[in-house]
Amino acid sequence: MHQLEHLFLVGEFAERSRLLSGLTLAQATLRPDGVPHSIYDELWHLVRYQQSNLAPGSASTSDLYPTTQPEHEDQWHALVQVFLTGARTAADLEQAPDRLAAEVTPGWSLANELSCVAVHNAYHFGKIVALRQRIGAWPPKAGPTSAQ
């Protein structure tokens, strides 16, 4: 396993696909009393941040959290897939050392930027796990680690 795969998909804590698995739309959008964001909101934010760093200009960063909620279960699953695809893209950059070494801003390489994204992701996944625990959706049911 490579370092970026470890940071973005499988290491330090449960696999990201497992952390997002087995949730219904109702669970993903639930905001327990006193909690400002749902699991959906946290993942939406995480995806926007990840995309803005992996493909600058591909995602607007003007809204920190979504202004509307999904209406269909497929929208939740699509967001999970966007995250997993982006995380896989980040992990695959391990095979492109020249790209990782390239400066994205003066004195700051893509590798530096990816480290920041991984830390940001970990923070929000901690919040997602805490929300899952609070709504009684933790741990995910045993079985495949698919996000469906």
Domains and their CATH numbers in the chain: 3-134 (1.20.120.450)
pLDDT in tens, 42-94: 999 999 999 988 886 666 667 889 999 999 999 999 999 999 999 999 999 99
User: What residues are paired with 109 via a beta bridge?
Assistant: 103
Query: Is the distance from CB of 119 to CB of 7 less than 8 angstroms?
Result: no
User: What residues are paired with 103 via a beta bridge?
Assistant: 109
| Structure tokens belonging to residue 120 | 């940001």
Instruction: Provide the pLDDT for residue 37.
Output: 97
Query: Is the distance from CB of 41 to CB of 65 less than 8 angstroms?
Result: yes
Instruction: Provide the pLDDT for residue 144.
Output: 45
Q: What is the mean pLDDT of residues 97-103?
A: 95
Residue 109 has φ and ψ, to the nearest 5°, of -90, 165
| Structure tokens belonging to residue 44 | 């939406």
Instruction: Provide the pLDDT for residue 88.
Output: 97
pTM of the complete model: 0.90
Cα–Cα dist 105/89, whole Å: 20
